[in-house]
Chains A and B, each alone.
Chain A
């Protein structure tokens, strides 16, 4: 029996996944706040409790994510891209491209049939392709974050937004509001602009199907719809896309535990 854990310390949330013999037993997440190390440990203990597993039973813990260094109790680390590739192929064995969109960054990974990453591209300098973009635009539109997606699906066309930078796009959105454009069309424009950035990033890598989308933003129906249209193909999304990084890390941890046995 192999029990392992993956901890994904993202820019907004910490995610913990525990895996037993290749199957996910628990997944827990929390806002990482101002004491990320502490929160990570609490979340981990929480996950152990739910799974009814003692910390001694966990053979290996692998950490990943932008704050990987804050996970003090991890035995090893893996890059976010390596974790994405592993998780993408775990959920969908036919996956060749995994797109991960988190709060602050977007990335795409190409992987082989073993879930080993063979190429990747990161959009880390600009938030326009990432989750915080939707948050900022939601503020401008005065719409709750989870309502923007469904709202955008009501639109048949998108308002024109030219700017691809969060700051400039916000002022674009404000002037559209002043022109009294329907909110739904503005919302769609926001997702289209974001999908445009993500798709040009993926194109730099070269798209090979099947394409898997993970990360918190994969739960946003509005963005998914725009990205599908932009890429012109189906996108596979796991049930809990937010946990993909932690799942990948836990799978890597399992392999490392086995290797040590």
Chain B
């Protein structure tokens, strides 16, 4: 059986220790530079950048304070549970006193390493995550005791196989149709299976009280997130890429500390709202980004382009699982019984999700509605539909979303790219033309 298949048939090729070490240190050095460069650009574009942003700059460094903290906590006996996608029930990980951390990779350099075992047509997020594992680049993946991989798309399905050469992998099997009668029950079983695995790994039981506390913690995070989002609905008070960084750091920071820091940032922004101290001029074209997850730091090339373009745009909202989708919905509990809480967790992670892996009689209804609602709330002037090559689900949904947006009279641009810096020049031309168009519409 399994034993016969196992020997000598692993995915990842043998690499010498020296090669791994050399690649690790050169890519790490390059990545630290990209992180610093992004932060410099963000500071330059926003003269009066709030003090509170400094905290997020610090926590955005994968090889800094957070890595150190995690190592210490791990030594003290805490378990770290990685996850590849936001279908993973964070509340359950927190309730078992473990640390949740997202492991998806945004390094362009490691995507090239992934090419050693996968054709280039495969989604670069997957190739890059595998490449990072090959050279042990991601501290979060390295420190994980187990990794939850929901099988949302084909890439992630096979990713779970490849990573299982190294790590304990817990697969989750999300249904693709939300409204079938058996769907929610099936998903709840997945959630309960993960609960058992978490309890077994940590040795901690997820009690009623602990789960309630965890739900409470995440609800507070959602509240802070929504407070920040509320401030993005009016004239620009914060540049989009700064807000995107804040939201994305919630995936690896200590969530309670993150919540506190976001509230501090909002306090500063509140004062600026009173003084009408905007981050860019009030008529700046307002852009929504939707599509493939845009993972820090390398994928910041897109928001950098939008907000440094001439004419300039400001990203006011996104529909991405690397951004506004992470914390948008809290777990909603009616009765604080154990049974009800697990029901609520299951429902939140399935029903509220707008992943393109879903389908229904009316297409991916929830995603379409979500986009339409946010466009109205955030007074979006235009949508950038971001897709990396090989990201099939987002690419395929575009035609339908475009029709919907055409009907609403909202321009949308399909920005296709790769995990590469080589196409920045071409992308700049396209992004500038799009923003020019939005600006011309605003003028009229």
Chain A interface residues (CB < 8 Å from chain B): 66, 77-82, 114, 116-122, 124-125
CB A120 to nearest CB in B, in angstroms, measures 6
CB B420 to nearest CB in A, in angstroms, measures 12
Q: A77-B310, A119-B411 given as contacts; is B430 within 8 A of A124 (CB)?
A: yes
Cβ of B67 within 8 Å of any chain A Cβ, yes or no, is no
CB A207 to nearest CB in B, in angstroms, measures 14
- What chain B residues lie within 8 Å of A116 (beta carbons)? 437, 440-441, 444
In Å, the complex CA distance between A122 and B423 comes to 14
Q: How many residues of B contact A (CB 8 A)?
A: 17
Where chain A touches its partner, the secondary structure class is mixed
Asked whether, in the complex, the Cβ of B411 is within 8 Å of the Cβ of A122, the reply is no
In Å, the complex CA distance between A175 and B429 comes to 38
Where chain B touches its partner, the secondary structure class is helix
Cβ of B190 within 8 Å of any chain A Cβ, yes or no, is no
Other-chain residue from B310, B423, B433, B441 in contact with A81 (beta carbon distance below 8 A): B433
In Å, the complex CA distance between A122 and B437 comes to 15
Cβ of B432 within 8 Å of any chain A Cβ, yes or no, is yes
In Å, the complex CA distance between A52 and B314 comes to 45
CB A190 to nearest CB in B, in angstroms, measures 25
Cβ of B329 within 8 Å of any chain A Cβ, yes or no, is no
- What chain A residues lie within 8 Å of B310 (beta carbons)? 77
- What chain A residues lie within 8 Å of B414 (beta carbons)? 121
Asked whether, in the complex, the Cβ of B433 is within 8 Å of the Cβ of A79, the reply is yes
In Å, the complex CA distance between A80 and B432 comes to 10
CB B74 to nearest CB in A, in angstroms, measures 44
In Å, the complex CA distance between A121 and B430 comes to 9
In Å, the complex CA distance between A4 and B430 comes to 25
Asked whether, in the complex, the Cβ of A117 is within 8 Å of the Cβ of B433, the reply is yes
Cβ of B16 within 8 Å of any chain A Cβ, yes or no, is no
CB A97 to nearest CB in B, in angstroms, measures 15
Asked whether, in the complex, the Cβ of B429 is within 8 Å of the Cβ of A66, the reply is yes
Other-chain residue from A78, A82, A118, A122 in contact with B430 (beta carbon distance below 8 A): A122
Q: A118-B411, A119-B411 given as contacts; is B429 within 8 A of A82 (CB)?
A: no
Candidate in B310, B416, B429, B444 with the most chain A CB atoms within 10 angstroms: B429
- Specify the chain A residue showing the minimal Cβ separation from B427: A124
- What chain B residues lie within 8 Å of A66 (beta carbons)? 429
Known A79-B429, A118-B441; 20 more pairs at CB < 8 Å: A66-B429, A78-B436, A79-B433, A80-B433, A81-B433, A81-B436, A82-B436, A82-B437, A82-B440, A116-B440, A116-B444, A117-B436, A118-B411, A119-B437, A120-B437, A121-B414, A124-B426, A124-B430, A125-B423, A125-B426
Q: A116-B441, A116-B444, A117-B440 given as contacts; is B433 within 8 A of A82 (CB)?
A: yes
Residues of chain B in range 128-148 having any CB-CB distance to chain A below 8 Å: none
CB A254 to nearest CB in B, in angstroms, measures 16
Contact sample, A vs B, 17 pairs, CB 8 Å cutoff: A77-B310, A79-B429, A79-B436, A82-B433, A82-B436, A114-B444, A116-B444, A117-B433, A117-B437, A117-B440, A118-B411, A120-B437, A122-B429, A122-B430, A124-B426, A124-B430, A125-B426
- What chain B residues lie within 8 Å of A117 (beta carbons)? 433, 436-437, 440
In Å, the complex CA distance between A120 and B414 comes to 10
CB A212 to nearest CB in B, in angstroms, measures 18
- Specify the chain B residue showing the minimal Cβ separation from A205: B402
Closest 6 CB pairs of A and B: A79-B433, A81-B433, A124-B426, A117-B437, A116-B440, A79-B436
Interface residues as binary, B405-434 with A (CB distance below 8 Å gives 1, 0 otherwise): 000000101101000000100100110111
